[in-house]
Amino acid sequence: MIRGQAPPAVRGGRRPNPEVRLVSGDLLDQASLVAAVDQVRPDEVYNLGALSYVPISWRQSATTAEITGMGVLRMLEALRIVGGITASRTPGPGQPRFYQASSSEMFGKIRETPQNELTPFHPRSPYGVAKVFGHYTVQNYRESYDMFAVSGILFNHESPVRGPEFVTRKVSLAAAAIKLGLRDSLRLGNLEAERDWGFAGDYVRGMVLMLGQEKPEDFVLGTGVTHSVRELVSMAFAHVGLDWREHVVVDPALLRPAEVDLLCADPAKARERLGWKPVVSFEEMIALMVDSDLRLLSDSRHASDGHVTELAALW
């Protein structure tokens, strides 16, 4: 996402800048990105673009490296080129600020718990490897060109609009669909994996705070509380009065070639320096997601909507 303020006048016959502009994924080549940045002249750029579903990254490892890794480099290059920045000509005032969505998946086979900004990385998937590339690229542009570029190392961030392939939404949809009698079972992979799941809205607030800092610095954003997939399922099903053990089937085909067993954030730096803390608890978030899916699947206006039928049945 590229965020720019409306300029006082149209520069050189260009269209006025919109407040917020989404740059679509097909602008992956360098020249198109340079043209987009040149046209928008953003104040802030949030690079959330990625091939973000971890299991797919083993099947499409080169595409993952291209989008999740190289995409970061190209975005920074576009900002550098349009800003006329070189090693000897560093940015003047008013240069755009860049946010990179780094990921707790970079910690992978964890070296310590909880994980903070100094915890070493050990990625366990092509996705994690590509995110590490992006993370160090941001650091390198900051150090080489003095650009305002930061990474937020975000732990799992969920909400009712989460994609149905991710485990929280897969579970909230299944609990709702089973409750409504639309299906009767749910296939899952590793129930023992533990994650630090937080509410996406809280994390977006943290991202904006990071770009408002005086100095560019990286921050971990997470809740510091960890739950297993088993606990997640149990809580979501209990919310609609169901016993998960009567419906969940463990499917070995859903296990990953290499798993990240445990993630737990130490968000102390964000708390102290940004004044950031999550507002929505894990329990509230799961209830929010299950209730939202109950409404979605029971709303007769959506009954003929193929997408909703697919959501209820497939995942």
Cα gap 310→295, rounded to integer Å: 16
Of residues 146 and 259, the one with the C-beta less far from ligand GDD:
259
Cα gap 178→244, rounded to integer Å: 10
Residue 145 beta carbon to ligand GDD: minimum distance, rounded to whole angstroms: 26
Does residue 105 have an active-site annotation? yes
Of residues 2 and 50, the one with the C-beta less far from ligand GDD:
50
Report which secondary-structure segment, H or E, holds 56: helix 54-59
Q: Where are the beta strands (DSSP E) in 155-294?
A: 157-158, 186-188, 194-195, 198-199, 219-221, 227-228, 248-250
Cα gap 237→1, rounded to integer Å: 35
Residue 105 beta carbon to ligand GDD: minimum distance, rounded to whole angstroms: 5
Report H helices in 189-273. Answer: 200-211, 229-239, 268-269
Report which secondary-structure segment, H or E, holds 39: helix 30-40
Does residue 103 have an active-site annotation? yes
Q: Does 28 bind ligand GDD (CB under 6 A)?
A: no
Residue 4 beta carbon to ligand GDD: minimum distance, rounded to whole angstroms: 26
Sign (positive/negative) of CA torsion 23, 27, 29, 32? Answer: negative
Q: Does 229 bind ligand GDD (CB under 6 A)?
A: yes
Report which secondary-structure segment, H or E, holds 97: strand 97-103
Site size toward ligand GDD, by CB under 6 A: 21
Name residues contacting ligand GDD, limited to 100-129 (CB under 6 A): 103-105
Residue among 46, 98, 155, 203 that touches ligand GDD (CB under 6 A): 155
Residue with tokens 């510091």: 224
Of residues 177 and 188, the one with the C-beta less far from ligand GDD:
188
Does residue 46 have an active-site annotation? no
Report which secondary-structure segment, H or E, holds 194: strand 194-195
Of residues 95 and 100, the one with the C-beta less far from ligand GDD:
100
Name residues contacting ligand GDD, limited to 183-222 (CB under 6 A): 188-190, 193, 195
Task: Determine phi and psi for 44, rounding to 5 degrees.
Answer: -140, 140
Residue 127 beta carbon to ligand GDD: minimum distance, rounded to whole angstroms: 7
Residue 80 carries which side chain, given as an amino acid letter? R
Name residues contacting ligand GDD, limited to 236-265 (CB under 6 A): 254, 256, 259-260
The catalytically annotated residue of 57, 102, 103, 104 is 103
The catalytically annotated residue of 44, 104, 125, 127 is 127
135 touches 100 (CB < 8 A):
yes
Of residues 94 and 252, the one with the C-beta less far from ligand GDD:
252
The catalytically annotated residue of 105, 141, 159, 203 is 105
Q: Which two tokens stand for residue 94?
A: 């008013």
Residue 96 beta carbon to ligand GDD: minimum distance, rounded to whole angstroms: 24
Name residues contacting ligand GDD, limited to 37-66 (CB under 6 A): 52, 54
Q: Which two tokens stand for residue 28?
A: 């992956």
Residue 195 carries which side chain, given as an amino acid letter? R
| Binding-site ranges for ligand GDD (CB under 6 A) | 52, 54, 103-105, 155-156, 165-167, 170, 188-190, 193, 195, 229, 254, 256, 259-260
Indicate which residues carry an active-site annotation. 103, 105, 127
